[in-house]
């Protein structure tokens, strides 16, 4: 898919579902937003705020009036998932914004979230838009097991706190599909590889492995990755991400033991990454640096285990 493209999801048994390439970080096939075209239209994920107009264009293409959008549902409040929520809430005046309870306050008052994101993403911040606050009276806080009414579809919210404590996955039982957030890693369709996502400061290996098991227990027909796109579910896909996670943390830990300092560890993995041709060198290198720092922080907080 190219930036701005909208396609019907035909993987598995999916119906009424569309995938949009938001052009996140000016990179194709990195950031997806999903639209359920139902009696209560829903937008799942919102992007980083930049290019949110692509989502509005997609609604127009589907002949969904902005006043008819009922649900805006980021899986968690990291700004690559929730940064567009305020913009969309303003444009879709009757929509409620469904967000995990633990992160809801950050959509109403995003100041601390912006500060933390700037620390985590560094120079990548130039790709972001400063988020607009979501009016508090339009926020619906989700807890584990809550169900979002999307008309002929329902989204069941399931805690998945490994990547971040405020992360949930959404299970669409009618489509037998899971919106994976970052709980199943980053799927790169152009090379058919799964990649780790381990940003500071909340990445937790054991909890991430538990999240993989949560998805395995659901065993849906289809996985809907925010990064990026639909993919048929398989136990092998879950096994693969478990291996990627464990091997990645072990590699960073081993390199730290041999390096003079943590910045040398970061430089090593930036130099070793092989995604320049897929994501472009700027994004690929920034991704490697962020993921390395996330593991280093995890090791610091678990060094007595």
Name which of 175, 179, 116, 117 is nearest 142 in CA terms.
Answer: 179
Percent of the chain with pLDDT over 90: 94
Write the pLDDT tens digit of every residue in 266-297. 999 999 999 999 999 999 999 999 999 999 99
Write the pLDDT tens digit of every residue in 44-62. 999 999 999 999 999 999 9
Helix (H, G, I), strand (E, B) or coil at 191: coil
Q: Is pLDDT at 39 greater than 70 in this prediction? A: yes
- 252 Cβ contact partners less than 8 Å away, ≥ 6 residues apart: 265, 269, 292, 295, 296, 299
In order, the DSSP letters of 32-60 are EEEEE-SSS-EEE--TTSTTTHHHHHHHH
Q: What is the pLDDT of residue 304?
A: 58
Q: Which helix H or strand E contains 225, and what residues bound it?
A: strand 222-225
Write the pLDDT tens digit of every residue in 70-107. 999 999 999 999 999 999 999 999 999 999 999 999 99
Q: Is pLDDT at 303 greater than 80 in this prediction? A: no
Write the pLDDT tens digit of every residue in 256-268. 999 989 999 999 9
């Amino acid at each position: 898919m190219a930036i701005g493209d909208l396609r019907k999801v035909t993987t598995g048994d999916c119906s009424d579902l569309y995938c949009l390439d938001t052009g996140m970080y000016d990179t194709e096939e990195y950031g997806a937003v999903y639209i359920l075209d139902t009696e209560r239209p829903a937008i799942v994920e919102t992007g980083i705020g930049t290019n949110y107009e692509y989502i509005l264009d997609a609604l127009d293409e589907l002949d969904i009036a902005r006043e008819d959008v009922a649900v805006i549902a980021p899986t968690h409040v990291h700004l690559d998932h929730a940064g567009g929520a305020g913009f969309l809430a303003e444009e879709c005046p009757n929509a409620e914004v469904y967000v995990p309870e633990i992160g809801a306050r950050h959509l109403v008052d995003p100041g601390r979230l912006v500060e933390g994101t700037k620390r985590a993403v560094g120079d990548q911040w130039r790709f972001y838009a400063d988020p607009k606050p979501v009016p508090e009276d339009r926020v619906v806080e989700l807890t584990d097991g809550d169900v979002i009414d999307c008309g002929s579809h329902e989204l069941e919210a399931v805690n998945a706190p490994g990547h971040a404590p405020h992360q949930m996955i959404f299970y669409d039982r009618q489509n037998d599909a899971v919106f994976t957030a970052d709980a199943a890693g980053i799927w790169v369709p152009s090379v058919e590889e799964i990649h780790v996502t381990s940003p500071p400061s909340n990445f937790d290996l054991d909890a991430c492995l538990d999240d993989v098991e949560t998805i395995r227990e659901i065993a849906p027909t289809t996985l809907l990755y925010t990064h990026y796109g639909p993919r048929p579910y398989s136990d092998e896909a879950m096994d693969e991400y478990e291996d990627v996670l464990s091997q990645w943390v072990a590699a960073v830990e081993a390199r730290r033991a041999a390096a003079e300092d943590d910045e040398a560890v970061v430089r090593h993995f930036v130099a070793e990454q092989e995604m320049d041709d897929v994501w472009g060198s700027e994004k690929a290198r920034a991704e490697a640096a962020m993921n390395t720092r996330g593991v280093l922080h995890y090791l610091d907080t678990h060094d007595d285990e």
